[in-house]
C-alpha cells in the first residue's frame, strides 16, 4: 500500500468562482492490479486533520473534485487521500483557495410566504429566482428567523438549522436554475411560539438576494 502517495507538489490546478472551487491533482503511482479512488477533505481552518466530519467526497475515480455551493470571499483548505483495498494513504499536503468576492453577474430574489399557520406551527413556501445573467448549477440558500421558529420537516432540499440560522442545499434533481428562471418547490413546516415574522434577508451561494 502506498503510504505517501502525493508528494510535495500534488496540486495540478485550482479553478475558482464566487461559489465554487474546482480542484484537480496529480494521479498517484500505485502498484499493478490495484484500483485507486480518492477522498477529499475540506475545512475553513488551516492545518486541519482529515476526518469523517470534514470529508466532502469519497470514491472518486478521477483526480478532480468540483466543490459547489460555497460562500463568496471565503478561504477553504483541502486535503486528499488515495484509497485502495488495503486502506488509505497519508493525507496530501494542504491546498487552499479563496472564492471570489464578486458575483460575476449572479443576482437572486427569494419569495417567502407563510401559506398556513396554527397555534404552535406554520407552513411556508419558498421560491428562488435567478435574476442575474449567469445560470445557477447548484444553490445554497441561507436566512435568519426573527424568533424561535424551528423547522420540523423540509422538502426538496437538505437543511441544517442552528438557532435562528438556516442553511438549505439543493438535491441532485433541483440544483439548476437558468437565467431568468426560478425554483418554486421548496417548502417546510415549523413550530414556533410568540410571533412568526417573515425573514427579511436571504442569500444564495453567498450573494445577498434583492
* Nearest residue to 147 via CA among 111, 184, 122: 122
200: which DSSP letter? Answer: S
Query: CA 130, CA 179: separation in Å to the nearest integer?
Result: 6
Residue showing cell 436571504: 202
Do residues 141 and 126 make contact, with C-beta atoms less than 8 angstroms apart?
A: yes
> Tens digit of pLDDT for each residue in 64-101?
888 888 887 789 999 999 898 888 888 988 988 888 76
Confidence category of residue 108, pLDDT binned at 50, 70, 90 = very high
C-alpha 167 chain-centroid distance: 10
Confidence category of residue 58, pLDDT binned at 50, 70, 90 = very high
| pTM (predicted TM-score) | 0.57
In the beta sheet, which residues pair with residue 5? Answer: none
> Tens digit of pLDDT for each residue in 122-176?
999 999 999 988 888 889 999 999 999 999 999 999 999 999 999 999 999 999 9
Query: CA 157, CA 175: separation in Å to the nearest integer?
Result: 9
Question: Going from the N-terminus, what domains does the chain have, and what CATH number goes with each?
Answer: 11-98 (2.60.40.10), 108-203 (2.60.40.290)
| SS3 call for 103 | coil
How large a percentage of the chain has pLDDT more than 70?
A: 90
Q: What pLDDT does residue 186 have?
A: 98
Do residues 154 and 148 make contact, with C-beta atoms less than 8 angstroms apart?
A: no
Do residues 56 and 40 make contact, with C-beta atoms less than 8 angstroms apart?
A: yes
Confidence category of residue 5, pLDDT binned at 50, 70, 90 = low
Query: In the predicted model, is pLDDT for residue 32 greater than 50?
Result: yes
Do residues 202 and 110 make contact, with C-beta atoms less than 8 angstroms apart?
A: yes
Which cell goes with 47?
492545518
Confidence category of residue 52, pLDDT binned at 50, 70, 90 = very high
Amino acid at each position: 500500500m502506498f503510504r505517501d502517495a502525493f508528494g510535495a507538489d500534488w496540486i495540478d490546478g485550482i479553478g475558482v468562482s464566487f461559489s465554487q472551487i474546482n480542484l484537480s491533482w496529480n494521479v498517484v503511482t500505485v502498484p499493478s492490479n490495484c484500483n485507486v479512488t480518492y477522498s477529499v477533505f475540506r475545512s475553513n481552518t488551516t492545518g486541519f486533520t482529515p476526518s469523517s466530519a470534514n470529508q466532502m467526497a469519497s470514491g472518486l475515480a478521477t483526480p478532480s473534485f468540483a466543490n459547489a455551493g460555497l460562500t463568496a470571499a471565503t478561504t477553504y483548505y483541502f486535503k486528499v487521500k488515495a484509497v485502495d483495498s488495503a486502506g488509505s494513504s497519508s493525507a496530501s499536503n494542504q491546498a487552499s483557495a479563496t472564492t471570489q468576492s464578486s458575483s460575476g453577474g449572479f443576482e437572486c430574489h427569494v419569495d417567502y410566504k407563510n401559506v398556513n399557520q396554527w397555534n404552535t406551527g406554520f407552513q411556508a413556501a419558498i421560491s428562488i429566482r435567478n435574476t442575474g445573467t449567469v445560470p445557477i448549477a447548484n444553490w445554497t440558500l441561507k436566512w435568519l428567523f426573527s424568533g424561535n421558529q424551528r423547522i420540523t420537516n423540509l422538502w426538496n432540499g437538505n437543511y441544517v438549522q442552528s438557532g435562528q440560522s438556516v442553511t438549505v442545499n439543493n438535491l441532485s434533481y433541483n440544483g439548476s436554475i437558468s437565467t431568468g428562471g426560478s425554483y418554486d418547490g421548496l417548502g417546510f413546516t415549523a413550530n414556533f411560539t410568540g410571533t412568526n415574522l417573515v425573514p427579511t434577508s436571504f442569500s444564495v451561494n453567498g450573494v445577498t438576494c434583492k
